[in-house]
Amino acid sequence: MELVDFRIFKLEEGIVHEGVYGINVAKVNEIIRLPKLTELPGVPDYVEGIFDLRGVVIPIINLSKWMGIEVPKNKKIKPRVIIAEFNNILIGFVVHEAKRIRRISWKDIEPAHFSSNYGNMDRNKITGITRIENDQVLLVLDLESIVQELGFYQPEVSSDKKQKRFGGMALVLDDSSIARKIVRETLERMGFKVVEAIDGEAGLQKLESLYENYGDKLQEELKIIVSDVEMPQMDGFHFASKVKEDKRFAKIPIIFSSSISDKFSTLRGKEAGGEAYLVKFDANVFYEEIERVLKKRSEA
């Protein structure tokens, strides 16, 4: 994948440190200079305000304040605003410097494991790490969590429709424990027995394990796979491609559930063998897509 490499400077024990961070290019609409903002009353201090971008009102988040770090006052900073899109919602993030675009293999992105908190951020705010030149570590931030914290986006987890009960198993892949919980509980309400994996590699290992138990009957037992796209080690697209290339698993339908809302990712999802690509989690839409995909499979 391609990452926008951006920097946040912090002062710690009198020393200036340069934090290296990244966000998936697929989530970035553009990078601009800091515009004139309109302040909002009664919001957290890291919400700098809002501004109008070609007719769209966009909230601006100061990342250094959100991260709870002390910014060096004597450091010359060239602030930029990264306009990102999650779940069809536009939001701007103030960073100290936008450096470059990096092309990094998913297998080189490792899950983030920290023995203690990183500043005021807990480990769930960092989705992955990778090493770059000079042995520096680039952290991939979970910027979507800000969107949820501020209430700009809340997944619609309840359904107002009378649902048909399904049977069999469902495999859920997502590196976010919160996202996995939402999908798992929704599938369980539909009647599925849910198996979970934290990324594409773990998903393939889970399929191998299930095949050892069920053999050629696995494609009858495992009714659906629901996969995130952004995951360390192996992303959802590569996972889906490998599943579809393996005749033991090829007939199991795959649905992508992701916050990436660009048209290119939707197209890639179809090319990888996905039956559907869902952006904003809505229990009603989720159920309808599951029902549609399973009906299509039964008629094939």
Of 177 and 30, the structure prediction assigns the larger pLDDT to 30
236-287 tens-digit pLDDT: 999 999 999 999 999 999 999 998 888 888 999 999 999 999 987 888 999 9
| Band of pLDDT at residue 190, cut at 50, 70 and 90 | very high
Q: Which helix (H) or strand (E) holds 115?
A: none
Packing angle, helices 263-271 and 236-245, rounded to 10: 20
Beta strands in 104-142 (DSSP E): 126-131, 137-141
Give yes or no for residue 117 having a pLDDT over 80: no
In this predicted structure, the answer to whether residue 155 has a pLDDT above a threshold of 50 is: yes
DSSP notation for 46-104: TEEEEEEETTEEEEEEEHHHHHT-PPPSSS----EEEEEEETTEEEEEEESEEEEEEE-
Residue type, 51: F
The region of weakest confidence among 12-26, 30-44, 134-148 is 134-148
- Each residue's pLDDT tens digit, 58-96: 999 999 998 888 999 888 898 999 999 987 889 999 999
pLDDT of 120 higher than 60: no
What pLDDT was estimated at residue 119? 47
Q: What is the pLDDT of residue 118?
A: 47
